[in-house]
Chains A and B, each alone.
Chain A
Amino acid sequence: MSIAVLDTNTPAHGSTVAPVLESAASAARPAGPAALVVDRVTKRFRVNRRKPPVTAVDDISLEIQRGEIYGLLGANGSGKSTLIRLVSGLLSLDAGRVEVFGHDLVREEMAVKRLINRVSVDAAFFKKLSPAENLSFAARLYGLDARDARRRSIEIMARLGIGEKRLGRPVEEMSRGMQQKVAIARAILTSPTLLLLDEPTTGLDPRSKLDVQTFVEELRAERDATILLTTHDLAEAERLCGRIGILAGGRLTVEDTPERLKARVALDHDLPPTLENVFMQYTGRSLDDDVEEGETDPDD
């Protein structure tokens, strides 16, 4: 069985594991450029002038093909959200290169921006404005016709279980789950070919979570969307993702299909083949540690 494991202690790990990754990534690779190429990307932050910079993302390389849902798992502070922000162009790269459908993020920033959208864990809106007003703003920013955007907004929101009557009332009067659905609708409205979902179901009730997960599956099936998903919900990752990468300390420690990852922990560590065991094995911490830390530091 071919397993893609990134040994982060090996110098220039990208080159040593590349052949293994090739075999595991996808047997039937679609023609055309990859949806997302992250090539040896590094990001450091200087928190305090007297202290050395903190490396949030450390020499990460990954490649996602068109139509794929790729899951990123990792503890809080492992670098998931930082990586999403780097791909979104919200943070500048200290080293490395990002390409979206063949467009370089730095040199062709506008072209990349037209292809991507992002849903973050905190549904950020002007909370006094209604969903319709927030979505209209998004539509105009992305150059969409206002009337078409309105019609599409109604369709998308209806699919997510939010009726037209609800679109005129302020977002602040909506539940957390409904706000997150509006955030997803806002991202979908612009028809992104690469969708970055940063913990989109965190804090949602089971029904809302299921609605969002079903919608994500439909997006891939019907719209050929490519999705990079970060989540703390291992069942969600297993259900949605064709491949999963695990981050620890800013490095990609392992990446493969969920089935192969589970087989790996069973074979090498004599553990039950669960994604929870994969997570603990490759992050070096339990889920409980993660949740406790998340309560004090929700943003990584």
Chain B
Amino acid sequence: MITLPRDARASFAFVERNFNLTKRYWGWEVAFLVYAIAGSLSVSLIGQSIGDRRLLMSLVVGAVFWNYLSVVFQSIGDTITWERWEGTLEYTMMAPVRRSVQLLGSAFYAVLYGLAHTTVLLIVLALFFSLDLGHANFGAAAVFMVVGSASLIGIGMLAAILPMMSVERGSQMVFVLQSCLLLISGVYYSVDILPGWMQVLSRVSPATYVLDAVRKALIDGAPIDTLLPDLWPLLIMAVVFIPAGIWGFGRAERYAKRTGKLKRVG
């Protein structure tokens, strides 16, 4: 009981620090945002050029929500990479803070950052294409973003282990993993067109379910009860991946302490 306020304070340390880093790197933040807007517009304009309003909406939703999911995933996955490059990982690991508190603090900021990024993107795209979202079910979309974030956070935690083993190779693998999620999750197309083996893989990606449900909610205004087939896999993944991520991170920390891999790299 005594540890709860302490844990909350320690968790907030990561939120505040990452917010300060975002502020200090504001130039890069603007650059990334411009790139995200340009990329999303470019993809969505394919739908516009074909004159298919539904395809346009589908591409906009794919671009915007993939942006959110990838920002969250990358922020968590890069947590260790940043610290190893800056040389602060040893200091953070020495502090009397449980790993779950550290990871959840980083994940919470990643969600806030992703939401801010995605809101700007959504507003720009809605204005650019004069999107009609009058009958969209935003509540259902929000539910899927929350549950989808939780399951993606678990995968992000597992991915964050990789840079602890080898900062450069690990970062490369996180990047490859993110690319694979983009390919198999039906970001810009239905997963039905993928080869059979890729369709199997798509079922273990949280992004597949989030994108499918959010499209139905925002384009068709689907109520939440019709989206349950997309909801329960996300809940299962959240329940499995977050504890697995924390457990795996703990194992990786023990390995790093045995082999001396917490030191600065770069």
Interface stretch of the complex, out of B19-27, B166-174, B234-242:
B19-27
Query: Is the C-beta of A193 less than 8 angstroms from some C-beta in chain B?
Result: no
Whether B21 contacts A141 by the Cβ 8 Å rule is no
Partner of B10, one of A91, A92, A117, A143: A143
Interface size counted on chain A using CB atoms at 8 A? 34
A-contacting residues, B100-158, CB 8 Å: none
Partner of B13, one of A46, A89, A125, A140: A140
Interface stretch of the complex, out of B64-72, B88-96, B185-193:
B88-96
B-contacting residues, A69-93, CB 8 Å: 82, 85, 88-92
Query: Is the C-beta of B17 less than 8 angstroms from some C-beta in chain A?
Result: yes
Whether B16 contacts A136 by the Cβ 8 Å rule is yes
| Closest-CB distance, A192 to chain B (whole angstroms) | 10
Partner of B257, one of A46, A92, A113, A116: A92
Whether A140 contacts B90 by the Cβ 8 Å rule is no
Whether A92 contacts B254 by the Cβ 8 Å rule is yes
Q: Which residue of B lies closest to A82 (CB)?
A: B260
Query: Is the C-beta of A181 less than 8 angstroms from some C-beta in chain B?
Result: no
Contacts of B262 in A (CB 8 A): 90
Interface size counted on chain B using CB atoms at 8 A? 32
Query: Is the C-beta of A124 less than 8 angstroms from some C-beta in chain B?
Result: yes
Q: Which residue of A lies closest to B24 (CB)?
A: A128
Contacts of B88 in A (CB 8 A): 124-126
Partner of A124, one of B9, B24, B95, B264: B264
Query: Is the C-beta of A114 less than 8 angstroms from some C-beta in chain B?
Result: yes
Known: A92-B258, A124-B87, A126-B88. Contact between A118 and B17, CB under 8 A? no
Query: Is the C-beta of A273 less than 8 angstroms from some C-beta in chain B?
Result: no
Contacts of A283 in B (CB 8 A): none
CA gap between A129 and B257 in the complex, in Å: 27
| Closest-CB distance, B105 to chain A (whole angstroms) | 10
Given contacts A89-B94, A141-B10, A143-B10, 19 further A-B contacts (CB under 8 A): A45-B260, A85-B260, A89-B257, A90-B94, A90-B257, A114-B96, A124-B87, A124-B90, A126-B21, A128-B24, A128-B25, A129-B17, A138-B91, A140-B16, A141-B13, A141-B95, A143-B6, A186-B91, A299-B263
Nearest 10 CB-CB pairings of A with B: A140-B13, A124-B87, A113-B96, A141-B95, A128-B24, A92-B257, A143-B6, A137-B17, A133-B20, A114-B96
A selection of 27 A-B contacts at a CB cut-off of 8 Å is A88-B90, A90-B90, A90-B93, A90-B257, A90-B262, A91-B257, A92-B257, A110-B96, A116-B94, A122-B264, A124-B87, A124-B88, A125-B86, A126-B21, A127-B86, A128-B25, A129-B17, A133-B20, A136-B16, A137-B17, A138-B95, A140-B10, A141-B95, A141-B96, A143-B9, A143-B10, A170-B24
